Structure 1
Amino acid sequence: MKDREILDKIAKGDESALKYLYKKYYRMMTKLVISNNGSEDEAKDIYQDALIVFWQKVIGGQLILTSRISTYLYSICLNLWRKELDRKNRLSHEEKDEAQYLDNDREEREKIIHECINELGDTCKRILTYYYFEKMSMQEIAEKLEFANTDTAKTKKYKCKKRLDQLVKQKYSASDFLD
């Protein structure tokens, strides 16, 4: 089929011309995406989107073809793929920024918690540090601090945690944790 014949068929709504274009240029268009860091699925999506854009321009009478159809489709695929790469790049940067923000936020919270823990008595300071930061079990804490049993360590930890919560709420408001 010649380009003029394809355009005429599309203008009349004949989808066989679209199927013909899809098969004829499939390898060329998908190779463009795959050779530029794209997957097979992404390549198929881009090519299908390009064909839809082409179809809509022909049907809408907006297409002034100054090159071969293959060249025109190639440029549409290239532009669509560039937009997709830009979008991916932006998302990647946003994820990195968010991860950095979360790390900074976590560090700030830990700093506040450590500051408040240091204001508690020595026993509470040790229990909470062992449990939350050194990830020791209640059994290990009970042995290390020479408590009678694990239940004693649990009760102490509960009371210390409650005092820590009160201290944090006393010294800081919710807005201190939010930007």
Structure 2
Amino acid sequence: MKDSEILERISRGDERMLDHLYKKYYRMMTKIVLSNNGTEDEAKDVYQEALLAFWQKAASGKLILTSKISTYLYSICLNQWRKELDRKSRLSSEEVDREEYQTHDAKERLKIVMDCIEQLGDVCKNVLTHYYFDGMGMQEIAKKMNFANTDTAKTKKYKCKKKLDSLIKSKYTTEDFFD
């Protein structure tokens, strides 16, 4: 079937032409997306959108075709896929920026906490470091620090944590931790 006949039938509202075009150019059009890092589903979506855009323009009578239908559809698919890749690239870039910001922010908060822990003295520094950073339990800390028992280690950790909280609050504002 010639392109001129297809356009004529579309202008009369023959929806069978939509199915005809879909099947005729499916492989060619989806290959654009598949060969450019796209999935089968993305390829189908792009082709369906392109075919719908072509159909609407052709049915309205506003389409002046200066190339074959396949070339026209190909250019629509290619443009739509480029836009999608650009959108994905922007989203990916925003995610990387957000992750870098969060990582930097977490490092800054950790630095503040570590600076304050250093000012507490050796016992508090060791208890808090063992508990929060080394992941030790109270029994291990009591043994390593030569405390009488785990209750002593718990009490010491509690008091050191209170000292740390007070020191941080005296030197920094909430905004330093939560933007």
**TM-score of the two chains, using structure 1 as the length reference:** 0.92
Over 3 Å counting, the alpha-carbon distance change for 1:58 and 1:124 in structure 2 is same
Pair 1:74 & 2:71 matched: no
- 1:60-117 CA distance string (max 9 Å, x none): 3332211111000000000011111111111221121111111111110011001111
Farther-moved stretch of structure 1 (81-90 vs 68-77):
81-90
Amino acid aligned to 2:131: Y
Residue 178 of structure 1 deviates from its aligned partner by: 4.7
Match of 1:3 in 2: 3
Q: Aligned with 2:62: secondary structure?
A: coil
1: CA distance, partners of 2:151 / 2:27: 70
- 1:20-53 CA distance string (max 9 Å, x none): 1110000001111111111111111111111111
Q: How many residues align?
A: 179
Match of 1:50 in 2: 50
Match of 1:106 in 2: 106
Over 3 Å counting, the alpha-carbon distance change for 1:73 and 1:155 in structure 2 is same
RMSD across aligned positions (CA)? 1.6
1: CA distance, partners of 2:8 / 2:147: 90
Over 3 Å counting, the alpha-carbon distance change for 1:2 and 1:173 in structure 2 is same
Match of 2:116 in 1: 116
2: CA distance, partners of 1:109 / 1:151: 30
2: CA distance, partners of 1:62 / 1:135: 70
1: CA distance, partners of 2:159 / 2:94: 41
Structure 2: gaps (5+ residues): none
Residue 6 of structure 1 deviates from its aligned partner by: 2.0
2: CA distance, partners of 1:174 / 1:14: 67
Match of 1:156 in 2: 156
Structure 1: gaps (5+ residues): none
1: CA distance, partners of 2:152 / 2:15: 78
Q: Aligned with 2:80: secondary structure?
A: helix
Q: Percent identity?
A: 68
Q: Aligned with 2:169: secondary structure?
A: helix
**TM-score of the two chains, using structure 2 as the length reference:** 0.92
Amino acid aligned to 1:86: D
